[in-house]
A and B are shown apart, each in its own frame.
Chain A
Amino acid sequence: MTRTDNNKPWTMRHGFAIAAALVAAGLVLQATCGPVRWQTLAWPVNIIVLAAYVATIAAARLMAPRWRPLRFLTTLAAAVPAIGAAVVLTMVMGLTPQTADGSWFSSMLTFWPFVVIYAYMALILGLVTAKRLGRKPRLADVAFVLNHAGLALAIVATTLGAPDMRRLKMIATLDAPESRAMDEQRRIVTLPISVELKRFIMETYADGSPRRFASDLVIRSASGQEAAATVDVNHPVRLGGWKIYQSGYDTAAGADSRFTILELVRDPWQPAVYAGIFMMLAGALLMLFMPTPKTHS
């Protein structure tokens, strides 16, 4: 049945070997293909990758009884080295200025070993979730599934959704409708809506530091509908799939600023990420009320 000669269980050493092999594979990819190009994941590639991820987990569930390495991936002996590798790589990221100057560590988010290890973690999370869901349900499994599936969903949806997210900067000038904005690649984009600054609002503390800055806006849709709205820091305005955030102003002019800097964000994957986040919050809350699993030291 199994490919190994004896039935001794695989240990954490095997887990470390797998994590090390994945880091090595990541280094080879980095050396041969260059940094990860996230933009290639843009719609519809991301939904295909998501389908492949789900299919892989389903296939792994079917093959697990016959293939030992797949069973090993759902054990603590595989989880600990996977998390350990993520700790080390995230620590490297914390110790290296993220300046994207072309060196490997300075752009960790496009560094293959980092991406491969997080993908490996997402795979393990999916596999253990499927395994738990496949057995006779117990109360303790609720927190387990919320924690593991929630984290998997949060990681997968933020990562796959990132290329579909649009973040535009718009400078709206007083009494002049504006429909142009700049995307993250500094290209000018023309939007089907226009935004006009009616009044810039600024309040300061006694020492002159800003207490509040906000913009009274009139927003016009393509069909000619008008809406007035005040956008404050921490209080964005929602408009047809876009959210408009107060981002900045003419700091030299202060309260007399004649323009306001807005950020327009469109994030179609947000509901999936929120689902993951709320699953994790519910799982963490349940953990507070559940007995600690027995330790066997």
Chain B
Amino acid sequence: MLWDSFIYFAIAATLLWATGAAAAWRHHRGRAIAATALGLAIFLSYIAMLWAALERPPLRTMGETRLWYSFFLPLAGFVVYLRWRYRWVLSFTTVMATVFVCVNLFKPEIHTKALMPALQSPWFAPHVIVYMMAYGILGAATLMAAYGLWRDSRRPAPRPMAGNDADGDGSAAPDMEGEVTMVRTGWAFLTFGMLFGALWAKEAWGHYWSWDPKETWAATTWLAYLAYMHYALRPHADRRAARWLLIAAFVLLQMCWWGINYLPAAQGHSVHTYSS
């Protein structure tokens, strides 16, 4: 079974991501980019091989969605690093991705070939992949917010309208623009995921939205990020409050992703139950 070989790809990818993260701290930008990109390529090739071996998209079990998350999170961190040059971001995304890789190594869930008829749809892969992509991007945005809170707590906030790189440690954009841009991107992907799901549901059983627990929490998460975006765009928005709002939205996202599996109110029939 192909899952047996996961450990080799996982070790190679996480070591490369760690190398990239360390290089970023030491301002070796080229090395950081090369190592991270290579790690992503190795991880993605494993996903592609698994897809081929299973003869279905690997998107059904929790373990399989964790696999995509471990890919998209470093990818989102990589984009943030390329665009805003935060040299700490790769370390965080590497650690988080490694945690998810370890969960898959130590607590693998049953991975069968079976794909129930309801999931045999061209909508299935895009629906889940764009969601995982959104989760990865929003995870990176949450890290940016947490870092911003920590940085602001250590020194007084820069005056409004101060230029970029006010703290002179190589990290640009003391303003929230990076976070807002990440959230806008992540939210756009959340929207794709949600509406692909609605169109699929309409084609599959005649109704867009049935308010099953997963959908209810997806709506809550989507609205929470919507509230954040509107809040952060207000003149004189309180950065501290905005960042806490972003962290709270990410907690709701966890609820939607896996928290509902442990929520008594959400038990019972759901088309979104991951069978393991």
**Is B239 in the interface zone, CB < 8 Å from A?**
yes
> By CB atoms of chain B within 10 A, which of A77, A165, A277 has the most?
A277
- Assess the A209–B219 pair: CB atoms within 8 A: no
**Is A243 in the interface zone, CB < 8 Å from B?**
yes
**Is B232 in the interface zone, CB < 8 Å from A?**
yes
**Is A138 in the interface zone, CB < 8 Å from B?**
no
**Is A212 in the interface zone, CB < 8 Å from B?**
yes
- Assess the A296–B116 pair: CB atoms within 8 A: no
Instruction: Give residues 197-237 of A contacting B (CB, 8 Å).
Output: 205, 207, 209-213, 232-234, 236
**Is A119 in the interface zone, CB < 8 Å from B?**
no
Q: Which residues of B contact A98 (CB under 8 A)?
A: 211
Q: How large is the interface on B (under 10, 10 to 19, 20 to 34, 35 or more residues)?
A: 35 or more
Q: Which residues of B contact A95 (CB under 8 A)?
A: 263, 265
> By CB atoms of chain B within 10 A, which of A86, A295, A297 has the most?
A297
Q: How many residues of A contact B (CB 8 A)?
A: 54
Q: Which residues of A contact B175 (CB under 8 A)?
A: 295, 297
Known: A277-B198, A295-B180. A93 touches B230 (CB 8 A): no
Q: How many residue-residue contacts, CB under 8 A, span A and B?
A: 143
- Assess the A297–B176 pair: CB atoms within 8 A: yes
A: residues with CB less than 8 A from B are 12, 76-77, 79-80, 83-84, 86-87, 90-91, 93-98, 108-109, 158, 165, 167, 205, 207, 209-213, 232-234, 236, 243, 245, 247, 263, 265, 267, 270, 273, 277, 280-281, 284-285, 287-288, 292-297
- Assess the B117–A76 pair: CB atoms within 8 A: no
- Assess the A83–B223 pair: CB atoms within 8 A: yes
Chain B 59-99 interface mask (CB, 8 Å, partner A; 1/0) = 00000000000000000000000000000000000000000
- Assess the B114–A207 pair: CB atoms within 8 A: yes
- Assess the B233–A76 pair: CB atoms within 8 A: yes
Q: List 17 A-B contacts (CB under 8 A).
A: A83-B227, A94-B220, A94-B255, A94-B263, A109-B211, A165-B207, A167-B206, A205-B113, A232-B117, A243-B206, A284-B187, A284-B188, A284-B195, A293-B233, A295-B232, A295-B233, A297-B237
Q: Which residues of B contact A109 (CB under 8 A)?
A: 211
Please name the residue on chain A nearest to B113 by beta carbon.
A205
**Is B6 in the interface zone, CB < 8 Å from A?**
no
- Assess the A87–B188 pair: CB atoms within 8 A: no
Bound complex: CA A234 to CA B127 (Å): 15
Chain B 172-210 interface mask (CB, 8 Å, partner A; 1/0) = 000111001100110111011001001100111111110
**Is B17 in the interface zone, CB < 8 Å from A?**
no
